[in-house]
Amino acid sequence: MLDKANDEVSRIRLELADRLARPAEQAWAMPAEFYTSPKFLEIETEEVLRREWMCVGHVGELRNPGDFFTTELLGEELLVVRDSDGVVRILSNVCRHRGNRVAEGSGNARKFICQYHTWTYDTTGALKAAPMMRKQPSFDQSKCGLPEFASEIWKGWLFVNLDGLATPLAPRIEGLSEVIHNYHQEDRYLVFMEEDVWNCNWKALFENFMEGYHLSATHLTTLHPITPTKLCKKMRSGEGWTGYHAFYDPDYPPRGPFHPDLTEDEKNNSPMYGVYPNLMVGMGTDFTLFMIIRPDGPDKVRIRWGVTGQKDEPTSGATRGYVDLCRAFNGEDKEKLEILQKALRTRGYHGGPLAPDDVEGTIWDFIQYIARKTGDG
């Protein structure tokens, strides 16, 4: 079985090397194994995901000192907290004594107490109490704090780098910041957040979100009337991102209120972009939808998805209407992707030519990104 898995990985690496050597005019989809191989997922995890900046949440979840949420990422238990001084930290959610979790769920706290032996930590991760440990000569309280992971905040999203060796995130996506500047995403409020699990490969979901080719076919009654496939235009992309502009049908009502900085062109399209490897964003002129994804095996993806708006009104009719729209087209995507994942288990699929740049050039960008990170190993 090990030889078979190694052969599978070798074939995928060869396919990725082939994609790197192709010009964009010969863009070609990846074979089924790219989305189904457990062994290649291990390669992705070690060579890409643990080394990159992974999005884990939004600062809107941490409005006040002491606000926190817990999450799991690639086997790491994380505690994301705004400390008493207002600094956002991403800490290990594992007690330094014998390895139990120190926090559960989300909420607001001044301290975190491991329920196993009541070791107690403050919001910076410093150990504040450890019963009876002062009788142990080798115990040094100052060296038993919760480890802190490297983190960055960009446009309100929280990123972590698990191995601590990644170059800074912001310079990689400076060009994207320029493209979306006038939408002022950093000023939008988090008005909705939810978690979900889909039975598909994480890369399949990233690709689906990032291409406009399926808008009119898959979303005939939800998105086609707003952003039909024929009006999609590829965005300039860079080292850390890809995207396209989903232009609005002229017959669709204006999607205000508009930020005063928006140009007439910007008022008429939604930038749809992905920050590699796991944040996807649909930035409308009124609301923003985002998805934060992480693999849970080759055939399952865990999702944290949310909505930000120009007004801090999570219960308004406008917010509820937008969330309902998102639920509708997300459901359509989930159905198609779960069928896709089953179909990829067949032996007859080897990938086909990608559609023109405006509608599937983003998929080519993403394949190139994965190829650069794993294709020559």
Least Cα distance to 143 among 154, 135, 153, 133 occurs for 133
Least Cα distance to 316 among 251, 257, 249 occurs for 257
- State residue 27's pLDDT score: 97
pLDDT above 90 for 5: no
- State residue 326's pLDDT score: 98
* DSSP string over 204-246: HHHHHHT-STTHHHHTTTTTTTTS-GGGEEEPP-BTTEEEEEE
- State residue 228's pLDDT score: 98
pLDDT above 80 for 375: no
Contact 190, 306 (CB under 8 A): yes
pLDDT above 70 for 53: yes
- State residue 257's pLDDT score: 87
- State residue 376's pLDDT score: 55
For 294-297, which contacts have Cβ atoms below 8 Å and span 24 or more sequence positions? 294/49, 294/54, 294/73, 294/74, 294/202, 295/41, 295/44, 295/45, 295/49, 295/201, 295/202, 296/197, 297/38, 297/41
Domains of the chain and any CATH numbers? 64-150 (2.102.10.10), 169-374 (3.90.380.10)
Decide: residue 314, CB within 10 A, 0-12 exposed, 13-18 middle, 19+ buried: middle
pLDDT above 70 for 147: yes
d(CA 109, CA 157): 22
- Residue 53 vs residue 6, higher pLDDT: 53
Contacts of 81 (CB under 8 A, 6+ apart): 62, 66, 67, 68, 88, 89, 91, 123
Q: What is the chain's mean pLDDT, rounded?
A: 96
- State residue 347's pLDDT score: 78
* DSSP string over 293-354: EEESSTT-EEEEEEEEESSS-TTSHHHHHHHHHHHHHHHHHHHHHHHHHHHTTSSS----BP
- Residue 116 vs residue 241, higher pLDDT: 241
Contacts of 154 (CB under 8 A, 6+ apart): 169, 170, 173, 275
Average pLDDT over residues 106-117: 96
Task: Tell me: cis bond preceding 38? Omega within 30 of 0 counts.
Answer: no
- State residue 348's pLDDT score: 83
Q: Per residue in 297-353, pLDDT tens?
A: 999 999 999 999 999 999 999 999 999 999 999 999 999 999 999 999 987 888 999
Q: Per residue in 247-304, pLDDT tens?
A: 999 999 998 889 999 999 999 999 999 999 999 999 999 999 999 999 999 999 999 9
- State residue 40's pLDDT score: 97
Average pLDDT over residues 140-156: 96
**Tokens 């989300």 identify what position?**
106
- State residue 11's pLDDT score: 93
Q: Per residue in 158-208, pLDDT tens?
A: 999 999 999 999 999 999 999 999 999 999 999 999 999 999 999 999 999
Phi, psi of 283 (to 5 degrees): -100, 95
pTM given for the model = 0.95
What radius of gyration, in Å, describes the C-alpha atoms of the chain?
A: 22
Least Cα distance to 287 among 307, 268, 305 occurs for 307
- State residue 346's pLDDT score: 85
**Local structure of 8: helix, strand or coil:** helix
Strand segments, DSSP code E, in the chain are 53-58, 67-73, 76-82, 88-92, 106-108, 111-113, 120-122, 127-129, 150-154, 157-161, 189-198, 232-234, 241-247, 269-275, 279-283, 287-295, 301-309
Phi, psi of 178 (to 5 degrees): -65, -40
pLDDT above 90 for 4: no
Q: What is the largest CA-CA distance in the chain?
A: 76
Contact 261, 184 (CB under 8 A): yes
Task: Tell me: cis bond preceding 23? Omega within 30 of 0 counts.
Answer: no
pLDDT above 50 for 377: no
Q: Per residue in 61-107, pLDDT tens?
A: 999 999 999 999 999 999 999 999 999 999 999 999 999 999 999 99
Cα–Cα separations (whole angstroms), residue 367 to 14, 20, 363: 13, 9, 6
Contacts of 122 (CB under 8 A, 6+ apart): 83, 84, 110, 111, 112, 128
d(CA 351, CA 193): 35
Contact 20, 371 (CB under 8 A): yes
